[in-house]
């Protein structure tokens, strides 16, 4: 039995009314996607993940991973799970049809991914990293590379990893040292990468490592980084597996959480040099990596939502059963405050993430180029908010889940401590949230003088009008205030950043939290306004719509007031932060 129930009604509702999946499905290429198919896919994903994947979460965490004889040993309880996942066709859901994929929208793919990540986040990292490699090769690989690798990655026959980090090169990838020397038609790589997620496993016939490295005469810094495909096993043009390449895992990290995900130190070229194939042209590697990071960063934001959802379910279940003071603790106002705040934050994170995926699919599939550009600009702006905000709130939600459990929350046996441990990484990897905040201010605000943010705030204002029409007046007032604070904070950052080199960096995180809290709230309320309309037209026998409205009120009362604090911190500027001696 699993203690996780996929939130199918929530996902269906958010897909249809917040992410406007019907509009996505109407884009060229998605014509067969009706409500029935969406429901069937979600139900099947829910069934598979609840029955097959979710029960492995706790035992896999206990079993962990190790390295023996230069190969990763994975948690025994996961044996057969990847094969079942692949056998059911899940890896190919959003893959391009030209390479054997099912070609479904990423908006729907993210709803399915939420379920998989809730079921076992450590396991879900394997397909997530593979998706990163598919995205990068799909955009920048040669025709020959695409034909060789994409069908096998999309089918799940092979997996992929991302190899960026070295001990001296984390946030600053400009100082990557791994060496790539030309050797005829290919290159040979020498060096060591650390923290490589699922750097090795025996579930797939081959592993395609995407590796950042530097050629001998490359310019220093970020302008001298190239991107290489380094397969675990060399293959011929027909994709037949040949000899073992000179890349091996030499250790796994002992971590706070995600114990079932092997975080590997990878040795490249300890013997003859690892054979690597250049992607695109030399010295453009970092640009390729950044271009594919949108998807990966949105996917990590989704991990925040997924873990928060599982923590919400666990805490509510416990609170209904635990009796103190003669009643279930779920009846105590302070416990209700915690449970409802957790639900409001989680549902807002889901709304923000799926709304962003609406733009992600439009940026690829919209018919007119101008439309694609407009949606891409919106994805670019929303990405640091999704990654940053959703991965911050999951730390709060999983911590509250422990608090709801009282002392039992601190005891591993309960299982809720694992979500808290697992959640801690998501605000760190795929670019720390400090780096997300700098991205928001530096690339997404300053580079277009705030024009894209102004457009976003104007679009969110339309949701406030929908909210008023639905007679959610108090919620609309809170949202309107938050939007006003965002506009003022953005203006202030634009005005002060050129005069003070420290200003943007000092205020960036609080600006990210201000804009994330506001945007997520708006998308949550978009759903609540629709729920109010539907409850009038359809009735509300199950109480689903009135709960949606109630959660929007909780968000407005318990979460949106935080915007004033974030705003004040932004307006305080860099003076004290740079002035006080450390
Ligand atoms: C479990 C796990 C899995 C991972 N998986 C992968 C993977 O699959 N592939 C891969 O390549 N890497 C992976 N990583 C690496 C991860 O992406 C990095 O740890 C992360 O990018 C941060 O780099 P760092 O650890 O070197 O921290 P640092 O860069 O040293 O950062 C330390 C602190 O300084 C701040 N900081 C750094 N530079 C700046 C700046 N310019 N301005 C403001 N603040 C700054 C950071 O925000 C952070 O708070 C993984 C890491 C872990 C722990």
pLDDT band at residue 272 under the 50/70/90 scheme: very high
Q: Is 435 in the pocket of ligand 1 (CB under 6 A)?
A: yes
The pLDDT of residue 431 is above 60: yes
> How close is the Cα of 171 to the center of ligand 1, in Å?
5
Q: How far apart are CA 370 and CA 253, in angstroms?
A: 46
Task: Indicate which atom in ligand 1 lies nearest the CA of residue 430.
Answer: 17
Q: Is 168 in the pocket of ligand 1 (CB under 6 A)?
A: no
- Ligand 1 binding pocket mutation candidate from 429, 507, 512 (most atoms within 8 A of CB): 429
The pLDDT of residue 131 is above 90: yes
Please name the helix (run of DSSP H) or strand (run of DSSP E) that holds residue 191, with its range, or none.
strand 186-197
Average pLDDT for residues 49-67, to the nearest whole number?
Answer: 98
> How close is the Cα of 432 to the center of ligand 1, in Å?
6
> How close is the Cα of 581 to the center of ligand 1, in Å?
25
Short-list 496, 498, 464, 469, CA closest to 483: 464
Task: Indicate which atom in ligand 1 lies nearest the CA of residue 434.
Answer: 47
Q: Is 255 in the pocket of ligand 1 (CB under 6 A)?
A: yes
Q: What is the mean pLDDT of the chain?
A: 97
pLDDT band at residue 290 under the 50/70/90 scheme: confident
Q: Is 428 in the pocket of ligand 1 (CB under 6 A)?
A: yes
The pLDDT of residue 367 is above 80: yes
Strand 327-328 relative to strand 241-244: parallel, antiparallel, unpaired?
A: unpaired
Short-list 546, 478, 524, 481, CA closest to 349: 524
Give percent above pLDDT 90 in the chain: 97
Q: How far apart are CA 232 and CA 230, in angstroms?
A: 7
Q: What residues pair up with 211 in beta bridges, in sequence order?
A: 163, 228
Strand 206-213 relative to strand 158-163: parallel, antiparallel, unpaired?
A: parallel
Residue of the CA atom closest to atom 42 of ligand 1? 435
Residue of the CA atom closest to atom 26 of ligand 1? 170
Task: Indicate which atom in ligand 1 lies nearest the CA of residue 125.
Answer: 8
pLDDT band at residue 31 under the 50/70/90 scheme: confident
Q: How far apart are CA 322 and CA 332, in angstroms?
A: 11
The pLDDT of residue 2 is above 70: no
Q: Is 434 in the pocket of ligand 1 (CB under 6 A)?
A: yes
Residue 558 in tokens? 């318990």
Average pLDDT for residues 3-17, to the nearest whole number?
Answer: 97
> Backbone phi, then psi, for 300, in 5-degree steps?
-70, -35
Please name the helix (run of DSSP H) or strand (run of DSSP E) that holds residue 65, with its range, or none.
none
Q: Is 226 in the pocket of ligand 1 (CB under 6 A)?
A: no
> How close is the Cα of 438 to the center of ligand 1, in Å?
14
pLDDT of residue 550: 98
Which pLDDT tens digit goes with each residue over 314-350? 999 999 999 999 999 999 999 999 999 999 999 999 9
Short-list 373, 361, 369, 505, CA closest to 445: 505
> How close is the Cα of 101 to the center of ligand 1, in Å?
32
Q: Is 171 in the pocket of ligand 1 (CB under 6 A)?
A: yes
pLDDT band at residue 37 under the 50/70/90 scheme: very high
Into which CATH architecture does domain 158-283 fall?
Beta Barrel (2.40)
Average pLDDT for residues 236-262, to the nearest whole number?
Answer: 97
Q: Is 414 in the pocket of ligand 1 (CB under 6 A)?
A: no
Q: Is 373 in the pocket of ligand 1 (CB under 6 A)?
A: no
The pLDDT of residue 430 is above 50: yes
Q: What is the number of helices (H) and of strands (E) in the chain?
A: 19, 14
Which pLDDT tens digit goes with each residue over 224-246? 999 999 999 999 999 999 999 99
pLDDT band at residue 30 under the 50/70/90 scheme: confident
- Indicate the length of the chain as a whole number: 582
pLDDT band at residue 29 under the 50/70/90 scheme: confident
The verdict on whether 430 is a catalytic residue reads: yes
pLDDT of residue 33: 86
Helix, strand, or coil (residue 5): coil
The pLDDT of residue 294 is above 90: no
Average pLDDT for residues 57-85, to the nearest whole number?
Answer: 98
Task: Indicate which atom in ligand 1 lies nearest the CA of residue 161.
Answer: 8
- 540 CB contacts (<8 Å, ≥6 apart)? 534, 546
pLDDT band at residue 135 under the 50/70/90 scheme: very high
The one catalytic residue in 10, 430, 533, 538 is 430
- Ligand 1 binding pocket mutation candidate from 126, 166, 195 (most atoms within 8 A of CB): 195
Average pLDDT for residues 246-273, to the nearest whole number?
Answer: 98
The structural domains of the chain, with segments of one domain joined by +, span 8-68+78-131, 158-283, 434-582
pLDDT band at residue 1 under the 50/70/90 scheme: very low
> How close is the Cα of 165 to the center of ligand 1, in Å?
8
Print burial letters for 428-453: b (CB count within 10 Å at least 16), e (below 16).
ebbbbbbbbbbbbbeebbeeeebebb
Q: Is 130 in the pocket of ligand 1 (CB under 6 A)?
A: no
Task: Indicate which atom in ligand 1 lies nearest the CA of residue 163.
Answer: 11
pLDDT of residue 317: 97
Which pLDDT tens digit goes with each residue over 462-517? 999 999 999 999 999 999 999 999 999 999 999 999 899 999 999 999 999 999 99
- 258 CB contacts (<8 Å, ≥6 apart)? 121, 122, 125, 422, 425
Residue of the CA atom closest to atom 9 of ligand 1? 196
Residue of the CA atom closest to atom 50 of ligand 1? 195
The pLDDT of residue 55 is above 90: yes
> Backbone phi, then psi, for 157, in 5-degree steps?
-65, -40
pLDDT of residue 292: 76
- CATH T-level topology, domain 8-68+78-131: Butyryl-Coa Dehydrogenase, subunit A; domain 1 (1.10.540)
Q: How far apart are CA 301 and CA 314, in angstroms?
A: 21
Contact yes or no for 504/581 (Cβ under 8 A): no
Contact yes or no for 482/560 (Cβ under 8 A): yes
> How close is the Cα of 166 to the center of ligand 1, in Å?
10
Cα–Cα separations (whole angstroms), residue 419 to 57, 102, 188, 491: 10, 32, 41, 38
């Amino acid at each position: 039995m699993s203690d996780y129930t996929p939130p199918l009604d929530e996902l269906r509702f958010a897909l249809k009314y917040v992410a406007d999946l019907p509009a996505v499905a109407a884009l060229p290429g998605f014509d067969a996607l009706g409500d029935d198919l969406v429901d069937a896919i979600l139900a099947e994903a829910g069934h598979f993940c609840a029955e097959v994947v979710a029960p492995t979460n706790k035992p896999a965490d206990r079993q962990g991973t190790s390295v023996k004889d230069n190969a990763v040993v994975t948690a025994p309880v996961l044996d057969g799970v990847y094969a079942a996942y692949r056998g059911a066709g899940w890896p190919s859901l959003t893959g391009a049809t030209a390479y054997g994929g099912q070609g479904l929208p990423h908006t729907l793919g993210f709803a399915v991914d939420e379920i998989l990540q809730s079921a076992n986040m450590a396991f879900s990292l394997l397909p997530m990293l593979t998706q990163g490699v598919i995205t990068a090769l799909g955009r920048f690989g040669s025709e020959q590379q695409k034909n060789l690798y994409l069908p096998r990655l999309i089918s799940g026959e092979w997996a992929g990893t991302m190899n960026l980090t070295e001990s001296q090169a984390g946030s600053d990838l400009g100082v990557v040292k791994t060496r790539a020397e030309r050797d005829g038609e290919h290159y040979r790589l020498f060096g060591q990468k650390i923290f490589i997620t699922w750097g090795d496993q025996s579930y797939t016939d081959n592993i395609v490592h995407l590796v950042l490295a530097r050629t001998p005469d490359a310019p220093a810094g970020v302008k001298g980084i190239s991107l290489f495909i380094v397969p675990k096993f060399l293959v011929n043009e027909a994709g037949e597996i040949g000899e073992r390449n000179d890349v091996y895992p030499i250790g796994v990290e002992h971590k706070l959480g995600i114990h079932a995900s092997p975080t590997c130190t990878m040795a490249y070229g300890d013997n003859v040099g690892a054979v690597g194939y250049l992607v695109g042209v030399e010295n453009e590697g970092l640009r390729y990596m950044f271009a594919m990071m949108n998807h990966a960063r949105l996917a990590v934001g989704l991990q925040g939502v997924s873990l928060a959802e599982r923590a919400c379910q666990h805490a509510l279940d416990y609170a209904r059963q635990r009796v103190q003071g003669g009643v279930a603790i779920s009846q105590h106002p302070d416990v209700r405050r915690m449970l409802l705040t957790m639900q409001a934050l989680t549902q807002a994170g889901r709304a923000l993430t799926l709304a962003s995926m609406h733009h992600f699919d439009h940026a690829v599939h919209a018919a007119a180029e101008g439309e694609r550009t407009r949606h891409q600009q919106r994805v670019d702006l929303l990405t640091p908010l999704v990654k940053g905000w959703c991965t911050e709130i999951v730390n709060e939600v999983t911590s509250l889940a422990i608090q709801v459990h009282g002392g039992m929350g601190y005891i591993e046996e309960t299982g809720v401590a694992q979500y808290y441990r697992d959640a801690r990484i998501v605000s760190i990897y795929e670019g720390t949230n400090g780096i997300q905040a700098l991205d928001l201010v530096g690339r997404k605000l300053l580079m277009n003088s705030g024009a894209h943010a102004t457009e976003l705030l104007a679009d969110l204002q339309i949701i406030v009008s929908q909210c008023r029409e639905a007679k959610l007046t108090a919620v609309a007032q809170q949202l309107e205030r938050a939007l006003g604070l965002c506009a003022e904070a953005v203006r202030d950052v634009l005005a002060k950043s050129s005069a003070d080199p420290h200003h943007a960096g000092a205020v960036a995180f609080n600006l990210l939290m201000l804009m994330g809290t506001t945007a997520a709230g708006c998308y949550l309320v978009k759903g609540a306004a629709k729920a109010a309309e539907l409850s009038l037209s359809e009735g509300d026998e199950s109480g689903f719509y009135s709960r949606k409205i109630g959660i929007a009120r909780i968000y407005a009362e318990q979460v949106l007031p935080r915007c004033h604090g974030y705003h004040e911190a932004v307006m305080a500027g860099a003076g004290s932060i740079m002035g006080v001696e450390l």
